[in-house]
């Protein structure tokens, strides 16, 4: 039984989370949010890119298939399709622009 970190968790270690938190605070990215924070949205979309997911339904299905590993991947709860759609639509795009510039 593997006791180490998942590959996804190892990749996410390269993200400067404290700087990302400052960016989110600057644009108010987590205001009026109940379930999906900006870091969780980033993790979900990064997971989608790394696993070649093509739709929100595909992302949700793949994350639910790995439900036992979600906590170790950085998710507090399973990501629902409608929640991810609302987050992608409602969050300020400047958050992601600044994060890309930071990386």
pLDDT at residue 2, rounded to an integer = 64
Instruction: Tell the residue number behind the tokens 């990302």, with chain if given.
Output: 20
Are the beta carbons of 71 and 57 closer than 8 angstroms? no
The one-character DSSP state at 15 is S
pLDDT digit of tens for each residue in the chain (103 aa)?
Answer: 567 777 888 889 999 999 999 999 999 988 887 888 999 999 999 999 999 999 999 999 999 998 888 888 888 888 999 999 999 998 999 999 999 999 8
pLDDT at residue 30, rounded to an integer = 87
Query: What ranges in 36-92 are assigned the alpha helix state H?
Result: 38-50, 56-65, 70-73, 81-90
Are the beta carbons of 9 and 43 closer than 8 angstroms? no
Nearest-angstrom CA–CA distance, 74 and 42: 10
């Amino acid at each position: 039984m593997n006791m180490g970190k998942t590959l996804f968790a190892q990749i996410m270690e390269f993200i400067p989370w404290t700087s990302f938190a400052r960016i989110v605070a600057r644009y108010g990215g987590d205001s009026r949010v109940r379930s999906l924070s900006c870091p969780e949205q980033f993790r979900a979309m990064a997971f989608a890119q790394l696993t070649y997911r093509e739709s929100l339904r595909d992302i949700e299905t793949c994350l639910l298939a790995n439900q036992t590993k979600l906590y170790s991947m950085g998710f507090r709860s399973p990501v629902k399709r409608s929640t991810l759609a609302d987050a992608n639509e409602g969050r300020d795009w400047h958050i992601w622009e600044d994060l890309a510039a930071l990386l």
